[in-house]
Every structure is written in structure tokens, then in C-alpha cells.
Structure 1
């Protein structure tokens, strides 16, 4: 019977006395209630915590239903159980006859046929009665929530002895191999030469020196495994090999201190433009990140990325980073088909309109500017005998002046602007004003000053 039912059956007088008693207990003028275990109950505990559910209600005021069940003390498995499950153990010798209810495959009665881990036989032990396996030990393990999820539960520390033994053998073999190698090569440094000579003289080293050698061995042992950025230690030659940018390299922003030379992004440490534009690219060590970006396989990679985007827009389920092999094969097929279509289109145009003879290559003597005409030159370059080679002329018209000009555009330069020399006008295709325009420009400049 729950306490709620008892409270509902109380009379008004009893209910008033119960309320006064609860108020007195909260005020500290009345002693606290005692549960069935003899413990005091805090009067400020809410009523919904004091009321026990109907399936654990004993009719007495108690907080026992709020406490976790007590765990069994002591080990669950003893020495007879090997402190854990009897893994791989059998009950006894195998049976000689097949027993009813046993596994039809191996004949063991400790498991069913569907749970058998033996190799499936062509004819099971039920029909042959041969090679019947022994029964396994079925052990009940009452594990709580934490024990079931403990990754080290059931671990035998003796298994680690095999790891230590194997490590000691490998370490001993490594030391003996290194000792034989040092004997063949001889000492490599002054300190090792002294130790080597002392060892040959006395036959053994002191404890301090021996410990020092072990420390050096440990350093060498972990040197190859060290993942240091920018360097790699070669254990045999005791040298450091740098394979990344060293700190002694000049920073990009120090190549040209002019603030207008090129923009440097300190966050990404990138300088896309060339900071030394006045020098040719073959004479500078750094020509900008864009110069490096557009060399090698980077342009080809950009083409593949563009092809992936275009294919995705057309509905193809391709992605360069998710499946690079697929997109590479698709791009290769696309280029092959594109070349085939281009070749067929060109062939069709030539068949329809003609002109295939113009696409044939010229003779080698014409390509290399060679001919049968004999020309003899002097040391100064003057033609002595034969016809002089004609100078190559531009395909554009030369010495053609427009709009009454007497000079071409770009013949005058001032204040970072190009213009005409005849009238000093900076407006292209303007009408020439001649000397009058020059005087007007000078007078306006004097007025501005």
C-alpha cells in the first residue's frame, strides 16, 4: 500500500497533525523521521522522492528504492576459473558415439549446429560417427555494465612477456650488428676513436662510458623514426639532410622592399606577382607564386578541375577530390573524342573547299632560311659578292601619319604618359595642333604653378 493511498485515507485532523509535524521537522523543533534501516530522513526531501513505486513499496518510509543495488564484493572468478573464462578448455575426452541433441557437424553437445565453428564436413558426425569433438566448458559470466564494456577485461598480463622477450632479442641483434659494423668501419669521430682505442687496450669500458654508448645507441635508434619538419637524420653518416625550405632563405617580402612592387599576404605567406619585374625570369630566384602555379602539371590539373565542374553542371555524378581516377579517365576519353571530332571537321572542310596543299610543310632549306644564292660578306658585315638578303618587313604599314601628325603615337613620354612628339598631345587619335599646341600647354602649366 503506497504512502499516497494512506495520505488520502487520513482524516482532516490526522492530515493537519501530519502537516504540523512536517513543518516542525523542517524548522528543527521535532526529530527527523527514521527509515527501516535506522537512518534519518532529511525533512526537506521532496514527496515524490519519498514515495516508492508500487512494485517496490514496502509500506514504510524509506529511501532504499533511490539507492543503487549493492555490488557483489570479491572476485567473480577464482584460480579454478583461471581468473577469467575457461577459453579453449574442454570438459574431458571426446565421446565415442553420437549423442542425441548434439551438433550434427562435429558431435559436441555443448552447442548447436548453427553455432558450430568447425569446418563444415561433407558428412557430419551425426551420420559418420567419426571424429567427434570434445565438449567445451560453458561458463556463466555475470558481468555488470562497466565490465561488459571494459576493453581490458579478461586480459592476461603474462601475454606481454612474449612481447618483451621478442623486443629483447631484436635489441640484442641490433647491438651486435652495429658493433660488427663499427669494427669494420673503424671510429668516425674523435670521441669514438678514444673509446675504441681504450676498449681495444683494456678490453672493456667503464660503467659511465658504457652508459654513454647506450644513450648514443638510443639516439641513433630513434633518429630514423623522428619526424622533424625540414630535416632527416641519416644514422650511418650522422648527417642532417634538409628537404624543405630552410630558415636561412630570404623571405619573399624582402626581395624587393618597394611597397608597390608586389602584394604580399602574410596570412598565407604568398606573393602571387613577381616582385622583380625589371629583371628577366631566368635571373631571379623567385618569380611569384603564379609563375610556379602555371608550370608543370598545375595547368593540366586546372583543366581537369574545369572539366569536372562542367560535367557536374550537365548532371554527371563526378568529383575530382572524391574519385580522381574516374575524372582522369573521363577527361582522357573526352580529349580523345574532341581531337577525333576536330580532325573529322577539318577533313570535311578541306574536302568541301580544298586548300590541303597550303597545309603541307615547307622545305627544310626554306624553313632554315637557306638557299642556293651565294653571298660573301666582309668583316664589317658589308656585302662583297652576291645579292644581299632582303630585310624582313613588318606586316603593318610604316611611316603612316594620321590627323596631320608628323610623328607616331608613343614618340613622346612625360609624367608616366605616352603621346605625340609633334604636338605633345597625350590623347590618342587627336588632331595635331603643332607648335601652337605645345605653347598652349606650356602656358597652362605656368598658370597652374
Structure 2
């Protein structure tokens, strides 16, 4: 039989360990104790898969407690890192003893106050010398290392004061309900501000109001002049005239010529007043 050159060598030639049987001797002589040993199978043994069997790698053992609750005996990752891991019961005994001593001291104080005619609340229960019957609050203060004297003298901060909100801390949108100022919202830093809350308030009375009025008048005049310039350029293009540039009127700029702008605004105010007076006169003549 001629050799087929298309068959690879690892198929056409027998391996070196096939005749000697060295591999089978090594497998029979040694027992594998690795973590994956339960996954290896002996090729000579035929297994009947019709019979259900438990896996050899499952080693979970459960222990029953007093309440008949099964707990896993093997400490895995979850059981080692539970919320009570490393908690010593003796620490809780110390805290309980401290609480008992505080309660005893508070009881002796109350008995002294009753003997000397101490204060009582509406239900008849005795109060502390500080005016409160909340022992749990005192226990929390002792755990935090605080005393009522320190809180009264404001040497230390009361932990409950952080929870409470200042009564004068009113949001700006509630203030805007009654005020006449408008809210402005800045989307970049998400701030809501109005005229009252701004550092530099927009003045609506006095010289600043006159300047703002002049600025608005200058903007209006500039818009009208720009419209006229556009119309003039369009007419020149239609007529075929080129090269005649439109001069810029510097009097329309408040910063360039404020005096001229002031005179123009006064002139326009007078013209508006005249037109109003004429309208009023005509109405009086017509309707009496």
C-alpha cells in the first residue's frame, strides 16, 4: 500500500507511547488529587448514564440551628464577607452596660427633682433637668461623645440641627409668586436668579434707568437705519448703480456719541407727546 501524502503524520504514524503502554501505566499508578480530578473519566470503564448520581464535586453540608434554619457549614465567599463578619459580642455588652449606668443616673436625678418639687410634664412624667424625657437621645449623644452643656454653649454642633431646615430658607420660585421681578434661568450652571437675588441689581429708578432707556432707544434707531440701508442697497442694485457705499451713522451708537443720542431721544419724546395731545384734542372735539 502506497503512502498517501495528503494524510498528516500524526495520523499515518503511530505515536511513540502507543506500543510501550507508558501512558496507561502512569494513569493506573497515580491517583489525581487535583481540583478537576472529578471531571476526568477512565476510558476503559463504561458508565450507565440512565441512573442519576450526585456529582462528586458537591460538598455542601448544612447545619440546623435552634430555629430549625439550615446554615451552610462550608465558609464560602459570601458567608465570610457578611455584614456581621468580625463583630465581637463583648463590644455590645460594653455599650449595654454604659446605657444602664446612664439610665440609673437619670433615674436618680428624677427622684431628686421630685423630692425637691421638680418639673413634670402634662402626663405627669418627670422631666430631666434640661427639660426633656428622651433618654434615647441622651444615649445617642453619649455614643457620639457629646453633652447637653456643649450643645447649649454651642461649642459643638447638634447632630439633629443638620436635618432641620432654616425657616427663612425660601426657594426663589416661591419668592417670585408675590414679587414683580422675573426669574432668569442659567442652563450652564443651573442657577435661578431674579433682580432681588443678584449681586448687581438692575436699577429701574434714577440715572441708570435713563441710561437703559437711552440704550433701548439707540438699539431701535440702529435697527431702523439698518433696514433703510438694506432697502437703499437693493434699490441701487435694481437701478444698476454700483460703488456708492452707505455711510455709517456714528450718532446711533450710545458709547460713540451719547449727547446726540440724548437729544434725539428727547426730540422723539416731544413728537410722541405732540401726537398724543392732537389725538386727545380730536377726541374731545368729536365726543366732548
TM bin, normalised by shorter chain, reads 0.3 to 0.5
Q: Which has the higher contact order (CA 8 A, sep 6+)?
A: 2
Q: TM-score, normalised by structure 2?
A: 0.33
The structure that is helix-richer by fraction is 2
Q: TM-score, normalised by structure 1?
A: 0.24
